[in-house]
Structure 1
């Protein structure tokens, strides 16, 4: 790591702080069922998440229709996304849970007066309620969703906006995430990056994306 102690820490949400796939899968399967399509199931959804709600829906819809993602019409995608969002609002905090070590690390950073931000590709409409339901909303000074900026991860814009709002330089922050999107965004922002081994990363070992460090639990970052 290039920074011994960060001046701020930015966190991805799904697959990094919270295992949210159980609820996401429930919502996507409910949307697919309304469209008279087979349910995808949690294992498939676990490999589909990470690029925001719309791309998740595109992947699920293409699978259900046995079509390529390119062949789907905007109207089909819009309808499926609308259904997904409706169902996800219902299932948001039903089965989602914090990963081991998350509360301990957030509490330690808070005690050290290190500011924190959430930078997630999840639509911002769902983020505050999810954080609140998990009891960790009070830790974060900045919360950005995939539609809070023009370009979601792997573009670095979200990370740079978070740094600007926290009043710190990117090189003095850490990005903590579970996917190649987080690693790529951090690299583009010239920010040290930690990968967690337990996340979603489309079924790929996060170490293959070469973060500065890989941890099995966030409490390994307590100094």
Structure 2
């Protein structure tokens, strides 16, 4: 029997694919596709009203674009992510967007990171990922790229420090850290 998971249990699943989340909370494997489809239909209707850019995100994107080439790797559907980034007027800053449907294995597997690097013609040893979950940091590590963890997500400093020594309070601080590294 299924019971409603508590908020802490749900927060621990942020960053994981919808398929994984539904399985973990006890949805029968045969019903997961239906749940995912229903969730996505609802999400698409409310996403622009319920989503906000994190504080200083626009500034971080603009500054990063002044010295680096940018891409997005997400466990969300690429189509919906693209629509949100366009809604907020920042999609043009990114050369590539790799969504869940673009890969066989989602983060923390390195496949989406490798796919983004390949599409951009970028080398792992010259690339960095800014992320706010352990999944981001694990994917970066497994892909052989640097990672700056940011504390604007659901994972805390202690959790992120297990995977990367580079932790910043927000995306703009992370970009400033990378800008400084690029100069040295």
Aligned equivalents of 1:104 and 1:211: distance in 2? 24
In structure 2, the CA distance between the partners of 1:204 and 1:52, relative to structure 1 (3 Å rule), is farther
1:12-27 aligned within 5 A: none
2:20 to 55, 71, 76: 55
Gaps of 5+ in 1: 1-36, 63-68
Q: CA deviation at 1:79?
A: 2.3
Matched residues, number: 175
Gaps of 5+ in 2: 180-184
Checking the alignment, whether the CA contact within 8 Å between 2:132 and 2:149 is kept in structure 1 is yes
**For each residue in 1:70-128, what CA deviation from the matched residue of structure 2 results, as whole angstroms up to 9, or x when unmatched?**
xx43332222222111111111111211112211121112223x210000111223111
Specify which structure has the higher proportion of helix.
2
Q: CA RMSD in A?
A: 2.2
TM-score of the two chains, using structure 1 as the length reference: 0.70
Partner of residue 209, structure 1: 162
Q: CA deviation at 1:58?
A: 2.9
In structure 2, the CA distance between the partners of 1:97 and 1:39, relative to structure 1 (3 Å rule), is farther
Checking the alignment, whether the CA contact within 8 Å between 1:192 and 1:212 is kept in structure 2 is no
Aligned equivalents of 2:172 and 2:78: distance in 1? 27
Aligned equivalents of 2:8 and 2:33: distance in 1? 24
Checking the alignment, whether the CA contact within 8 Å between 1:183 and 1:209 is kept in structure 2 is no
Q: Give the match's secondary structure for 1:195.
A: strand
- Structure with the bigger RCO (C-alpha within 8 Å, sep 6+) is 1
Aligned equivalents of 2:109 and 2:3: distance in 1? 33
